[in-house]
A and B are shown apart, each in its own frame.
Chain A
């Protein structure tokens, strides 16, 4: 068990900086998920924590030890890769046992730990198979097993579920979360899937272009995003953003070059609502209708922008119709139009 701490962490490849001095403290036993668009530096950050990538500047601490110059194996972390990277020429049992390669345990103790890990991950009947004879989900479990047997002080996951189909992904999400509950080990987890981030994380770290934009619990980020990027990145469908002006607590759509942006989540923007005193009202022509079952998503154009709102299931909305959607007060996010930083709600 240990804390991970990044202090002014910088990474450059040659002259190109890809991580611009980030600070983060991951608490002991915390499950932290790094999200961000492709190329924002998530993997690089994780690989620096692992010791697979050299640190250009700043400090990484595990517990209270600075590990910048420490070999990966000395850090006692375990990593699960996107491609699983389980060794194809070894059986499942040998693969898992490889996690104990440097362990001083006796042969019998090692075998027992491998069996335990196999049982915990539901791999017992597969222990003597080769990876070629396993499904994607089973391979991923072998990779997790190899990481687990060692009792590392922390787990690092780099997009471990991105090669699985949606159903398996949902199942593995729960299994990994469950594993974390049982082992209580610190986890740093990289993904670009914001659903994974929302459902698994104790805390989400949103990254962009080598900077951390926000690090907070999932609902805190959802409710109070610090800027337009974070607001749009977390939550599906993405938050609607329109130019606006504000007077007396009421936000109205603005033409031209206003100094405010108003953001409203599709689930807070309701078609056919009759609330008395809305915080924002948008009217436009419907361009697409997506029935999801419990509700229907309505796409419509407002001043050349595509807006998504929610309508009740079996609603009468049709393409080409003009609709009005309302957002209740308190659910409209305001951002500075220049800096795109959050300015509270209306």
Chain B
């Protein structure tokens, strides 16, 4: 050991770079640039005046925060922001709860018709949203749910994908944990809530992120189901900056820039749970 510390020089890292690596890095870099450029232009445009938006310099000549002030004070942008947040949070909480409840039941209980229920849920994944919008609309109209928060939220309160995801994860929870809890006298609901749920936090985080992002950026159904401006969600509201005569790109970009903040926060808050593989620690090791 001492000899290596003093005497020998380690081989240069450059010597170790293999051609395969270079290809990988190149492809990844191109991908990264392709993804990041639009986002940079979004921020850049949000700092420009209306006159400068077709000046494609990345660093604006006279950066200004005027658009931010305008978006946040004039019009109903803050309201739309809160609408989106409310809808996305409610739907996320609902999915995390109900998808995992049903997923757990399908994964850990044997009952007649289990396979049928599972296949029925899965098969709904094969129907594209576009086909569902009309039935949703008719149903919402019949029940008087149109133009309400519930009307925006109800189609997504539970999803087949979330149920499927959670079922797959609960299947990896060893039965011993559940049976040990049963011996300890917990009822089935408490076993799910106190034992099984904490063991699948990575999956719950992933589900929460997907659901939140999906609903935060949802456009089609909120557009169709709402008519009053007070109920618009952010994506729907942003389109009202594109009025007949002129598209106010700087305003749209400012709104979009503000809209990315919650998604970033959600991801940063939850990502560490995705990485943490907590499950195996309680078993033999």
Contacting pair B284 A83 (CB below 8 A): yes
Q: Does B195 contact A (CB under 8 A)?
A: yes
Q: Could you list 5 further interchain pairs (A-B, Cβ under 8 angstroms) beyond the known A72-B182, A73-B186?
A: A84-B283, A86-B180, A88-B278, A131-B282, A139-B285
A139 to B281 Cα, complex, angstroms: 10
Contacting pair A83 B183 (CB below 8 A): no
Contacting pair B176 A85 (CB below 8 A): yes
Question: Considering residues B177, B278, B282, which has the most beta carbons from chain A within 10 angstroms of its beta carbon?
Answer: B282
Residues in chain B within 8 A of chain A (CB atoms): 174, 176-177, 179-186, 195, 198-199, 278-285
A77 to B181 Cα, complex, angstroms: 12
Contacting pair A84 B284 (CB below 8 A): yes
Contacting pair A131 B281 (CB below 8 A): yes
Q: Does A79 contact B (CB under 8 A)?
A: yes
Contacting pair B177 A85 (CB below 8 A): yes
With A52-B182, A87-B195 already in contact, the answer to whether A136 and B278 are too (CB < 8 A) is no
Report A98-116 CB contacts with B as 1/0, cut-off 8 Å: 1101100000000000000
A318 to B197 Cα, complex, angstroms: 63
With A83-B174, A87-B177, A89-B278 already in contact, the answer to whether A99 and B184 are too (CB < 8 A) is yes
24 contacts between A and B (CB under 8 A): A50-B179, A50-B183, A52-B183, A72-B185, A73-B183, A73-B184, A73-B186, A79-B180, A82-B176, A83-B174, A83-B176, A83-B283, A83-B284, A85-B283, A86-B180, A87-B181, A87-B282, A88-B199, A101-B184, A102-B185, A131-B282, A132-B281, A136-B285, A143-B180
**What residues of chain A lie closer than 8 Å to B186, measured between beta carbons?**
73, 101-102
Contacting pair B179 A85 (CB below 8 A): yes
Contacting pair B184 A85 (CB below 8 A): no
Q: Does A93 contact B (CB under 8 A)?
A: no
| Minimum C-beta distance from A240 to chain B (A) | 36
A32 to B174 Cα, complex, angstroms: 27
Report A264-306 CB contacts with B as 1/0, cut-off 8 Å: 0000000000000000000000000000000000000000000
**What residues of chain B lie closer than 8 Å to A102, measured between beta carbons?**
184-186
Query: DSSP class of B's interface residues: helix, strand, loop or mixed?
Result: helix
**What residues of chain A lie closer than 8 Å to B195, measured between beta carbons?**
87
Residues in chain A within 8 A of chain B (CB atoms): 50, 52, 72-73, 77-79, 81-89, 98-99, 101-102, 130-132, 136, 139, 143, 146, 150, 163
**Chain A residue at minimal CB-CB distance from B284:** A163
**What residues of chain B lie closer than 8 Å to A139, measured between beta carbons?**
282, 284-285
**What residues of chain B lie closer than 8 Å to A146, measured between beta carbons?**
180, 184
Contacting pair B185 A73 (CB below 8 A): yes
| Minimum C-beta distance from B169 to chain A (A) | 15
How many residue pairs link A and B with beta carbons under 8 A? The number is 78
Q: What 5 pairs across the A-B complex have the smallest Cβ distances?
A: A88-B282, A132-B281, A73-B185, A102-B185, A85-B176
With A101-B186, A139-B285, A146-B184 already in contact, the answer to whether A89 and B179 are too (CB < 8 A) is no
Contacting pair A88 B279 (CB below 8 A): yes
Query: DSSP class of A's interface residues: helix, strand, loop or mixed?
Result: loop
With A85-B176, A85-B177, A87-B177 already in contact, the answer to whether A79 and B183 are too (CB < 8 A) is yes
**What residues of chain B lie closer than 8 Å to A163, measured between beta carbons?**
284
| Minimum C-beta distance from A137 to chain B (A) | 11
| Minimum C-beta distance from A92 to chain B (A) | 11
With A52-B179, A89-B198 already in contact, the answer to whether A130 and B185 are too (CB < 8 A) is no
**What residues of chain A lie closer than 8 Å to B182, measured between beta carbons?**
52, 72-73
**What residues of chain B lie closer than 8 Å to A84, measured between beta carbons?**
282-284
| Minimum C-beta distance from A60 to chain B (A) | 15
Partner of B184, one of A88, A98, A132: A98
A85 to B182 Cα, complex, angstroms: 12
A85 to B282 Cα, complex, angstroms: 6
A262 to B177 Cα, complex, angstroms: 48
**What residues of chain B lie closer than 8 Å to A132, measured between beta carbons?**
281
**Chain B residue at minimal CB-CB distance from A133:** B281
A88 to B199 Cα, complex, angstroms: 8
Contacting pair B185 A89 (CB below 8 A): no
Question: Considering residues B180, B185, B279, which has the most beta carbons from chain A within 10 angstroms of its beta carbon?
Answer: B180
A336 to B280 Cα, complex, angstroms: 50
A146 to B181 Cα, complex, angstroms: 11
| Minimum C-beta distance from A55 to chain B (A) | 16
**What residues of chain B lie closer than 8 Å to A79, measured between beta carbons?**
179-180, 183
